[in-house]
Amino acid sequence: MNRICLQKKNITRKDVAEKAGVSVSVVSRVLNNSGYVDKEKKKKIIKIAEQLGYIPNPIAMALQTRRTYQIIFFCNDLTGAYYNQMYHGMAKTAKERGYHLLLQKDYDFESVKKILADGIIFPTENVAQDYAETVGKNYRLPTVTISFDPSAIFAKPMPSVVIENQKIINASIDYLIQKGHKKIGMLLPFDYGYANSRYKAWKERMKMESIFLGGGVETNYEHYIINCGKPEEENKKKDYRYLGPYQSESEGFVYYDLFKVGYEAANLYKSSKYKATALICFNDDLAQGFIAGLQEIGLRVPEDISVMGIDGIFTRNHFKPKLTTMSIYPERQGAKCVEVLIDMLEGKKYKYMNYSPYGILEGETVKDLK
């Protein structure tokens, strides 16, 4: 039996030239970005090449169309589940819309001049502002950032996906009060940056509770703060690159380790004179480490103390007891950043302020005192 194999013809520059009614040399000048060709003729040749399925040199095509379909995400550390999930949300959405996500691990902003990309996403407003005040002044790629501070002002207006820390903390406190808790504290890895914004929101709300509810809420609410920050960090507060005592190492791999900080904080709680009945932790990693540390020293969660996180990362499914947390949906944050950026690139309508959703994910770490 004879078998006939049908193969798709490879499209050549000659095919493009014949279809466009020009010489092969003209097509080559257009696709290689070398030599002069009338602007309208360029557009026509590029369109025909795309229609025929011609596969040109991607760099040459990017130079011609001024579109690379690549996006840069600056993020110094993906070892934590929060930014890992955010990254996956970005990558998935970028792929769905025909783009490719590039991870730039170090905050070397000069590198954007060497990378073919259409736009940039930043993990915090501090990183975004640093870029805007340096390379971004003259290198005008469209940018979007995650923001933990709704009041952040940039050197140049920049769309943001905003995490509203005040609403997140208020909703967390509401939940704990509904469960009968009055001595509500906070566990912080440090008291600057976006940890400070959560601390300030907690402090403002607990102050109001002590005033309006009188004896219903502990007046000296600040007794219930556990701050794991170190005095030597004082001069480093404005440097988002500084990891200080929060670094761990495994076979030469250095990573950001708030689980360890939370684990060590268990002893701070045990030795503290004033003990909260419930602690809101800065994030889920800190909360999981804190619970593990409490278990190690013989304290039970939630029987001896209730613990609540903020983030809603997937790792809570692998710990016992299962963490109760205020989810801020990191995958959705990442997806929204990509959606806004691509809408900018494609000339579609977009908002400058995009608010991230949040909601309670109930687990087993908060005791109902009622």
| Predicted local distance difference test score (pLDDT) of residue 370 | 84
| Predicted local distance difference test score (pLDDT) of residue 99 | 94
Let me know: does 362 contact 176? Beta carbons within 8 Å: no
pTM of the model: 0.78
CA 228 – CA 241 distance, rounded (Å):
18
360 or 217, greater pLDDT = 360
Q: What is the mean pLDDT of residues 161-185?
A: 95
Let me know: does 265 contact 187? Beta carbons within 8 Å: yes
The residues that bridge with 101 in the sheet, in sequence order, are 71
Give the torsion sign (CA, 180, 183, 187, 188).
positive
Q: What is the mean pLDDT of residues 11-20?
A: 87
Task: Label residue 161 by pLDDT band (50, 70, 90).
Answer: very high
| Predicted local distance difference test score (pLDDT) of residue 36 | 81
8 or 160, greater pLDDT = 160
**218-254: pLDDT as tens digits:** 567 888 999 887 655 554 545 555 555 677 777 777 7
| Predicted local distance difference test score (pLDDT) of residue 1 | 45
Q: What is the mean pLDDT of residues 287-297?
A: 97
Average the pLDDT over each of 20-29, 242-251, 330-339 and give the range with the smallest value.
242-251
Average the pLDDT over each of 3-17, 201-215, 307-321 and give the range with the smallest value.
3-17
Q: Kindly tell me if the per-residue pLDDT of 265 is higher than 80.
A: yes
Task: Label residue 7 by pLDDT band (50, 70, 90).
Answer: very low
Q: Kindly tell me if the per-residue pLDDT of 191 is higher than 50.
A: yes
Q: What is the mean pLDDT of the chain?
A: 85
Q: What is the mean pLDDT of residues 335-364?
A: 95
Q: Kindly tell me if the per-residue pLDDT of 171 is higher than 80.
A: yes
| Predicted local distance difference test score (pLDDT) of residue 241 | 54
Q: What is the mean pLDDT of residues 189-206?
A: 84
Q: For every residue of the chain, which 3-state class applies, written as one string?
A: CCCCCCCCCCCCHHHHHHHHCCCHHHHHHHHHCCCCCCHHHHHHHHHHHHHHCCCCCHHHHHHHHCCCCEEEEECCCCCCHHHHHHHHHHHHHHHHCCCEEEEECCCCHHHHHCCCCCEEEECCHHHHHHHHHCHHHCCCCCEEEEECCCCCCCCCCCCEEECCHHHHHHHHHHHHHHCCCCCEEEEECCCCHHHHHHHHHHHHHHHHHHHHCHHHCCCCHHHHEEECCCHHHHHHCCCCCCCHHHEEEECCEEEECHHHHHHHHHHHHHHCCCCCCEEEECCHHHHHHHHHHHHHCCCCCCCCCEEEEEECCHHHHHCCCCCEEEECCHHHHHHHHHHHHHHHHCCCCCCCEEECCCEEECCCCCCCCC
| Predicted local distance difference test score (pLDDT) of residue 62 | 54
Let me know: does 130 contact 82? Beta carbons within 8 Å: no
Task: Label residue 152 by pLDDT band (50, 70, 90).
Answer: confident
| Predicted local distance difference test score (pLDDT) of residue 244 | 59
Average the pLDDT over each of 43-57, 297-311, 354-368 and give the range with the smallest value.
43-57
Counting residues of the chain whose pLDDT is more than 90, the rounded percentage is 52
Instruction: Give the residue among 81, 87, 88 at the shortest CA–CA distance from 316.
Output: 81
Q: Kindly tell me if the per-residue pLDDT of 124 is higher than 80.
A: yes
**96-117: pLDDT as tens digits:** 999 999 999 888 888 888 888 8
Q: What is the mean pLDDT of residues 117-139?
A: 89
Q: What is the mean pLDDT of residues 52-64?
A: 60
Q: What is the mean pLDDT of residues 303-330?
A: 96
Task: Label residue 313 by pLDDT band (50, 70, 90).
Answer: very high
| Predicted local distance difference test score (pLDDT) of residue 105 | 84
